[in-house]
Amino acid sequence: MILEELGNYLQQHRRASLTQLGIALGASPEALRGMLQRLERKGRVRRLPPPQAACGGSCCRCDAAVSETWAWAADDGEPVPGLSCPSLERPV
């Protein structure tokens, strides 16, 4: 089941953009978003806030699927690192 694969991927990698999840699981961002929201309601994942600072690029148009980042909700309360600009990071 893709919902279980999604949870396992985030648990293993700790965080990923919607684009990264789509590539890893072979699913569209639109399909994944609904599943992520379901896992969020169950307290298993959380959506990270958008980056505060600009990435330094000149276009000012980051793709929403690239900047929408989700993280596994750690059971031990350990914070999950945020992102300054997901488009500059290596894929997880």
The pLDDT value given to residue 65: 56
- Within 10 angstroms of residue 8's Cβ, the number of other Cβ atoms is 12
The pLDDT value given to residue 90: 42
Does pTM surpass 0.95?
Answer: no
Which positions of the chain have pLDDT values less than 70?
51-66, 74-92
Q: How far apart are CA 62 and CA 77, in angstroms?
A: 30
Q: CATH top-level class for 2-76? A: mainly alpha
The pLDDT value given to residue 59: 59
CA angle 89, 68, 73 (to 5 degrees): 90
The pLDDT value given to residue 67: 76
